[in-house]
Amino acid sequence: MKFGILQFFSWPGRHGPLEDVYARALERIGIMDRGGFDAVWLAEHHFTTYSVCPSVHMVGVLAAARTKRLRIGTAVSLAALYHPLRLAEEVALLDVISGGRVNWGAGRGFAPLEFEAFGVPPAESTERFREAVDIVLQAWTQERLTYASANYRFDGLEVLPKPLQKPHPPVWMAATSAPAIDWAASRGFSILMDPHATTTELGEKRRLYARRLAEAGFSDAGRDIPMARLIAVAKTKAEATEVARRGAQWLLSAYAGPGHAKVLQTNPEKTMQVPTINHGEDPLGR
């Protein structure tokens, strides 16, 4: 088993200087590197204090400069919101600068406000996301990129730099819904599993992914399939429960803002599970 941290850049209540949010995150990333964690996964969001990190690639450069062995993951690059060539260049540059330590996670995104602000019609977001992933991978592996679609056309374009890792950095697709899992499995992509599903739901999704992967002629043997869990740690179970409750309340409040209201309306019965750890207990229940 490998251990990593899904690093958000939350600014609850706009408490304190925003620059402190980044300073504390980078300090934690340095501790992860020295403490033996395998990876940090940087979360990209826009227009919300839920996580004030509009560029995981820029922060990834700072993380790489402060670490020696830690893998630098994106969870995720919101591929539908980028021009795919710019995305290919930025992630490849990060891979070169970090000495080949990038884990590239890509996702479509879900916030209506983000799609609207960046001029991406929600109905086109899935197509644009999948197209961007194809272009990025081809830009990394082809000496000169030739590509034609309804949205993009490139003819013999040399995209530089190429990633240091060959043929390219390891790749994951964020997959929460059954259609997203089906698509990722059909292409042989590994997946990132979301922190907002219950443990039971995660198990169901993981089994669905394994079935769809096998049906497409791929194996899940040896794959790293990150599963994000929210964990509250305190000296007693009562204190950990209160930490979890406050965190979940703030998190749901952040999601309930103007940019996320439509998401909540689609599944109003959804609840969030936040495990609590009493100091001295085994969190794995052994």
Question: In the chain, where are the structural domains located?
Answer: 4-174, 230-286
Mean pLDDT across the stretch 33-51? 96
Q: How does residue 218 score in pLDDT terms, banded at 50, 70 and 90?
A: very high
Mean pLDDT across the stretch 38-50? 95
Give the class (CATH, top level) of 4-174.
alpha beta
**Which pLDDT belongs to residue 125?**
95
**Which pLDDT belongs to residue 256?**
61
**Which pLDDT belongs to residue 110?**
87
The mean of the pLDDT values for the chain is: 89
Q: pTM score, two decimals?
A: 0.88
Q: Which residues lie below 8 Å from residue 55, measured CB to CB, with a gap of 6+?
A: 44
Would you say residue 263 has pLDDT above 50? no
Show the DSSP H helices in the chain as ranges.
18-35, 56-65, 84-97, 112-117, 122-141, 178-186, 199-215, 237-255, 261-265
The DSSP element (H or E) to which 173 belongs, if any, is strand 171-174
Residue pair 108/79 in contact by the 8 Å Cβ criterion: yes
Exposed/middle/buried for residue 163 (C-beta within 10 Å: 0-12, 13-18, 19+): buried
Q: How far apart are the C-alpha atoms of 226 and 50, rounded to whole Å?
A: 21
Mean pLDDT across the stretch 220-239? 93
The 10s digit of each residue's pLDDT in 151-181 is: 999 999 999 999 999 999 999 999 999 999 9
The 10s digit of each residue's pLDDT in 109-132 is: 988 999 999 999 999 999 999 999
